[in-house]
Structure 1
Amino acid sequence: MFGEVHYHRTYYKHKTETEYRYLSDELMGIDSYDKMDVALKSRLIEEAIDTPYARSGRKAAETLQISSQSVMNAIRELGPVRNNEVKISRSKETPTILYIEADEDHVALQAGGCSEPKLVYVHEGRTQVGKERWKLQNPRYFGGMYRNQKNSGTK
């Protein structure tokens, strides 16, 4: 979060086995190919909840350039989170109107063909933010590919 850290380390070989290790990495708790601190990754994920990945990378660490791909990788590394594990701040009042909007998107697959992930968002309405922009009130987003869903197979 505070900037880049550069350090030199020694690559040690075990005397009797063919194993190599960075002892300083083990002592500091740094995994192989790990380039970001856990605190930075958690801040990236927190920022990505409300903002686009590229902007959340800029907000999480102003002194570093963190790509949107790195933010996505941090989220994927976290893995799936069940709804009951997420702490949601509850408003004191139950909303009188709850909007549920659903759509699908067409995504080209790398192996060929096309897929249609489902996209759903639930919100309590919208407020105007500027001349032509709107902001959803308390939005919650859901999406993904589902078990009984078939790919269209078109190339």
Structure 2
Amino acid sequence: MADIIKIKRSATTASPSSLSAGELSYSEQSGKLFYGRISDGTPVDIGGKWVVDKISALASADITDFNTAADARVAAANIDALANVHVPAPSNGQVLTYSTANSRWESAAAGNGVTEFVSLNDTPANYTGAGGAFVRVNAGATGLEFVTAIDGGTF
């Protein structure tokens, strides 16, 4: 004979006053399914008929309204409102850099990075004589070099 598992249930109470840790309960009145929180048995709403009814009742207008609301929130957002970002007085040309000392992103002046290919440390010093050339990794695999032809090899 198969065992039958029954959960606590009520047709007249919207929410159980208490449950044992991990215990399930269903309220016919509210249409909600609950479980008892592991740490203290507090009833936690985890779904039920009311969720199905809510989803079934959604119309395209609800989704449009949600998208409009989300777009408005994003448009009004300020990056400094994020918990791990500190930008007290942003100015043009600044970038975000991560500070391990402060465990957050902070504004800083942008660096003066390389603006020309030949200014990189592992490339030829200039373009002289390299018109129409290709770039390849050198034989020592330690940098780049200009070559005028690429040997396709044999087969």
TM-score class, shorter-chain normalisation, is: under 0.3
Q: TM-score, normalised by structure 1?
A: 0.17
Bigger Rg over Cα: 2
Q: TM-score, normalised by structure 2?
A: 0.17
Greater helix share, 1 or 2?
A: 1
Tell which has more relative contact order, 1 or 2 (C-alpha 8 A, sep 6+).
1
